[in-house]
Copies of this chain bind each other. A is one copy, B any other.
Amino acid sequence: MIEKLIQGIKKTGAPIVVGLDPMLSYIPEHITQKAFAEYGETLEGAGEAIWQYNKGIVDAVCDLVPAVKPQIAMYEQFGIEGLKAFARTVSYCKEKGLVVIGDVKRGDIGSTSEAYAVGHLGKVQVGSKSYYGFDEDFATVNPYLGSDGIKPFIKVCKEEKKGLFILVKTSNPSSGEFQDRLIDGRPLYELVGEQVAKWGEELMGDTYSYIGAVVGATYPEMGKVLREIMPKSFILVPGYGAQGGKGADLVHFFNKDGLGAIVNSSRGIIAAYKQEKYASFGSENYADASRQAVLDMREDIASALAGR
């Protein structure tokens, strides 16, 4: 799956992942009104609105980007009906040829991590039959529990040729509270990064590992160090756009081959029509606004990389 991601980046020229993190407040009224007319102001109605909104965006951008990253929390908040919209979105994006990174940030002790791995990346056994659960291509994973929380995910990734992005340095303001604390003179995130590189050796693709890392665009200097610590790990970079990360901040996350990083933008793309810059599209054409935002982001990253 890392090969498919790399091929997609090369083909589109866009090391971009679209964060499908729908909030009801982002969804244009014509979509919510139609969904509520059919299902009422219910969880089912919310699920339908989210799905229709996602579908519009995916249809508009699927030829421009290699990957999407649905954030499961945004669906899970609507309970079962929200998770149905998540499953439907994952499935549709895969049909469209996109790599799907399930932003699930799971992680637990061994046997429990195995269940999460099975549910999101693998197949579960039921009697003599087996079934895929949510069936994403990659999942994000939390490392706080150490190797025996991660290994079961790697095992399933080996079986399924799928991959992980392990949290190393997150994009949020308080990420430093624990992640930046010094251990033998070096911040915790560096030690986690070293482990990611080691875990990654267990499951190599042609040039990059199936086991990648999450490092926030909001911390470019740390990204530079982590790029060197994990030379063969792809870095999933959240925090571009709405959270404050800029194109120029991103250059450190890429290797000299122009690969090694994929940058996420969520609100900046999916709710682009709400920005002054794209307001002229109007809410009816929200998906066209998303398409333009992807084109602009591609340009921003390309010129930053050309200028380094």
Q: Which residues of A contact B (CB under 8 A)?
A: 21, 24, 32, 36, 41-43, 45-46, 71, 73-74, 76-80, 82-84, 87, 105-110, 112-113, 115-116, 118-120, 124-129, 131-134, 142-149, 167, 170-179, 181-184, 188, 191-192, 195
Q: A182 to B143: give the CA distance in the assembly, Å.
A: 17
- Assess the A174–B188 pair: CB atoms within 8 A: no
If A41-B128, A79-B119, A126-B46 touch, does A182 touch B179 (CB 8 Å cutoff)?
A: no
- Assess the B133–A146 pair: CB atoms within 8 A: no
- Assess the B178–A144 pair: CB atoms within 8 A: yes
Closest to A110 in B: B172
Chain B residues with CB under 8 Å of A32's CB are 127
Closest to A242 in B: B111
- Assess the B188–A133 pair: CB atoms within 8 A: no
Specify which of B73, B87, B127 is in contact with A36 (CB 8 Å cutoff).
Answer: B127
Chain B residues with CB under 8 Å of A129's CB are 41-42
A-B contacts, 8 listed (Cβ < 8 Å): A71-B112, A78-B131, A79-B134, A107-B142, A146-B172, A148-B172, A148-B173, A183-B183
Closest to A46 in B: B126
